[in-house]
Amino acid sequence: MENLPKDPVMLMSFINMKLRDEYRTLDDFCNAYGLDETKLKAKLEAAGFDWLPGIRQFR
């Protein structure tokens, strides 16, 4: 995750933008960036954000 924003709010915003503009699923995004989806979700959940699969966004 070294090439992603460090700040959780910026990270959430970056991921949501990428999901809106470039990737159809969180899995696709994680594969493109070499990320573990479970760890990514845990990091953002620890910052107070929930993954909402129905709308493909963190909020």
Q: Check residue 28 and give its pLDDT.
A: 98
Specify if 51 maps to a domain.
yes
Specify if 35 maps to a domain.
yes
Specify if 1 maps to a domain.
no
Whether pTM > 0.75 for this model: the answer is: yes
In whole angstroms, give the CA distance from residue 37 to residue 29.
9
Beta bridge partners of 57: 52
Specify if 3 maps to a domain.
no
Range of the domain at 42: 8-58
Q: Check residue 2 and give its pLDDT.
A: 74
Tally the domains of the chain.
1
Walk along the chain (59 residues) and give the pLDDT tens digit of each residue.
Answer: 678 999 999 999 999 999 999 999 999 999 999 999 999 999 999 999 999 999 999 99
Specify if 2 maps to a domain.
no
